Structure 1
Amino acid sequence: MKVLILGATGFVGNGLARHLTAQGHHVTGLARTAEAAEALAAQGITPLLGDLTTSRAAAAAADTVIYAAQPDPRTEEEVVAGILDALAGSGKTFVFTSGTGVLMQRTAGAWSEDCFAEDDPFTVEPLAAGRLAVENLVRAANTAGLRTIVVRPGLIWGPGDHGHVSMIYRAAARTGAACYVGEGLNTYSHVHLDDVTRLFTLAMANGTGGALYHAVAGEVPNRWIAEAVARDLGCPTRSLTPDEAATVWGEFDALLLGASSRSRAPRSRQELGWTPRHTDMLTMIGEPRLRQGV
């Protein structure tokens, strides 16, 4: 199968590109620079030098297009709408990578009992309203002549990630303590990159047009992460107010570390037979890459 991946140089997109290439698919990845193109070629991925605004023509040459880029919301909507228009009536597949940030609740470190399956109603986080609009655009574009699918992973972890575990290691480097926000009982449902790539493969092969599939394998409250980091480094833990957290991580990352985003994946499990193989994000604790600079 000919697969075009937009965002092939990013954490998720590159994982997908390498996984699909290993399965024998012909994968083309969009690269914005010559250096990025060389890196893709070294991985056996065919580079396409350009940017998202030039991807519409390239999409027509692929059997499946996977969108795994993360531009600003306005650019994302324009690019996705253009690709959907270009693929209409082609019989091809378009898979959009979203994220459970659309489900995020600003709890300031408190636990939330809310946990959402694929099509449960929810109130969208205002910062992610544009992403939800694109999700809806993609799902509505499913027709007899185009199969569209949305994959919505939780917090993705794995080699090279920059998620909550690495963020708490960075806080320890800056403050001398493994930090969390408030009570630290908030949690982002998580999933390993390898399990995300397997879900994409299943969705491409057998996914229902117009469907939304969650990818989630477990949960760890942020205070538990901080306590594990503290044990690894031999440092104390520390609770931060939201304002203090902003001085440690920056305003946006502090928002993420103080929020809750809990999800379930019954449709992925029941309809696609997807079962995650990596369920414990704390297995990353102690990795040399995380301890560097601490």
Structure 2
Amino acid sequence: MKVLIYGAGGFLGSALVRRFVAGGHTVRGLVRNEDAAAALREAGAEPVLGDLLTDPDDTVALASDADVVVYAAQLLLEPERNTIEALLDTLAESGKTLIFTSGTGVLSQRTDGEWSEDTFAEDDEFVRSKYIGARVDTENLVRAAGARGIRGIVVRPSMIWGHGRSPMLDGFRTSIEKTGAVCYIGRGLNLYSNVHVDDVAEIYYLAAEKAPTGAIYHAVSGETNFRTIAEALARRHGVSARSIDLAEGVEIWGTFAALIVFSTCSRTRAPRARRELGWQPHPDRLDVLSEINVPASAI
């Protein structure tokens, strides 16, 4: 297959590139700078320099030459939806595949550091997040694309980690830089379910092979609350861990991250991914705390 990956230079995108190349497919990736392009070439993929925001027509047109289009870029909700609408117009009646990357943030619950007993499988009903739940409308556009002759699939990754990287763990480290301690909100019993980036990439690979039109899959393999993560990071960096309120969280992480990430609880399960795709996370990649102990030289 010819696979096009939008956001190929990112943390998830680069893992997708590796997986599809390893599977013997021809991979092109949209990246925004030459350093990312060089990394794609080294991985065995063909880079295309461009930007979905500044070059929307040319970058969306790339989809015409692919069998499978994977959207793993990071845009704000409105430009993201506009981009997906343009991709659907480009792919209409082609029979090609579009895999859209959403996230379990759409179902997250603001708890200000408290644990929630609620946990959601792919097809469970939920109250949309006040802050990011509008992304479900974009998910639904993709899932309904079968009526337009497109095989549309949605993947919702949870907290992603692996290879010494994790955007969320980086956020905890930001609190060290700004306060000298690893901070968590309230009692820190809240969490995002989590998954290794290579196991996420495997879901996309399997979905491209055999997912039905309109499918939605969660990518999740475990969960660890934020206070436990903060305390492990504190031991790793030789600092303390401490509770803060939301106001201080906004000062550290900004309003968006404080509300969408560090004050919320987002617990998910992936029975549909396991059942329909035969997906199983690797047994050696189940403990996010093992990532915290990666030597600093490897990060």
Alignment TM-score > 0.5, same fold:
yes
Matches for 1:122-141 after TM superposition, within 5 Å: 122-141=126-145
Instruction: Determine the structure 1 residue equivalent to 2:295.
Output: 288
3-state SS in 2 of match to 1:184: coil
Describe the superposition over 1:193-229 as per-residue Cα deviations: whole angstroms up to 9, x where unpaired. 0100111111111111101011100000001111212
2:84 maps to 1:80: yes
Distance 1:113 1:64 in 2: 37
Q: Please state how far the C-alpha of 1:189 moved relative to its aligned partner.
A: 0.5
Whether contact under 8 Å (1:6, 1:67) holds in the other structure is yes
Matches for 1:1-294 after TM superposition, within 5 Å: 1-52=1-52, 53=56, 54-143=58-147, 145-255=149-259, 256-277=261-282, 278-289=285-296
Amino acid of the structure 1 residue aligned with 2:287: D
Amino acid of the structure 1 residue aligned with 2:226: N
Per the normalisation by structure 1, the TM-score is 0.93
3-state SS in 1 of match to 2:275: helix
Whether contact under 8 Å (2:164, 2:298) holds in the other structure is no
Q: Please state how far the C-alpha of 1:143 moved relative to its aligned partner.
A: 3.5
Q: Please state how far the C-alpha of 1:291 moved relative to its aligned partner.
A: 10
Q: Please state how far the C-alpha of 1:63 moved relative to its aligned partner.
A: 0.7
Describe the superposition over 1:43-98 as per-residue Cα deviations: whole angstroms up to 9, x where unpaired. 22111222221233211111100000111222211111111122122121111111
Distance 1:77 1:245 in 2: 29
Distance 1:70 1:233, change over 3 A: closer
Describe the superposition over 1:214-267 as per-residue Cα deviations: whole angstroms up to 9, x where unpaired. 110000000111121222233322110111122222222222111111111110
Large movers: runs of 4+ above 3 Å: 33-36, 288-292
Describe the superposition over 1:99-119 as per-residue Cα deviations: whole angstroms up to 9, x where unpaired. 001011111001111111101
RMSD of aligned residue pairs (Cα, Å): 1.9
Describe the superposition over 1:158-185 as per-residue Cα deviations: whole angstroms up to 9, x where unpaired. 1253433332233234323222110100
Distance 1:9 1:218, change over 3 A: same
3-state SS in 2 of match to 1:180: strand
Amino acid of the structure 2 residue aligned with 1:271: E
Whether contact under 8 Å (2:128, 2:134) holds in the other structure is no
Whether contact under 8 Å (1:169, 1:290) holds in the other structure is no
Distance 1:252 1:161, change over 3 A: farther
Whether contact under 8 Å (1:169, 1:291) holds in the other structure is no
Whether contact under 8 Å (1:139, 1:148) holds in the other structure is yes
Structure 2 alignment gaps of length 5 or more: none
Amino acid of the structure 2 residue aligned with 1:21: V
Stretch deviating more after TM superposition (171-180 or 85-94): 171-180
Amino acid of the structure 2 residue aligned with 1:24: G
Q: Please state how far the C-alpha of 1:35 moved relative to its aligned partner.
A: 4.0
Distance 1:177 1:51, change over 3 A: closer
Query: Percent identity over the alignment?
Result: 50
Residues paired across the two proteins, number: 292
Structure 1 alignment gaps of length 5 or more: none
Distance 1:151 1:285, change over 3 A: same
Per the normalisation by structure 2, the TM-score is 0.92
Amino acid of the structure 2 residue aligned with 1:74: E
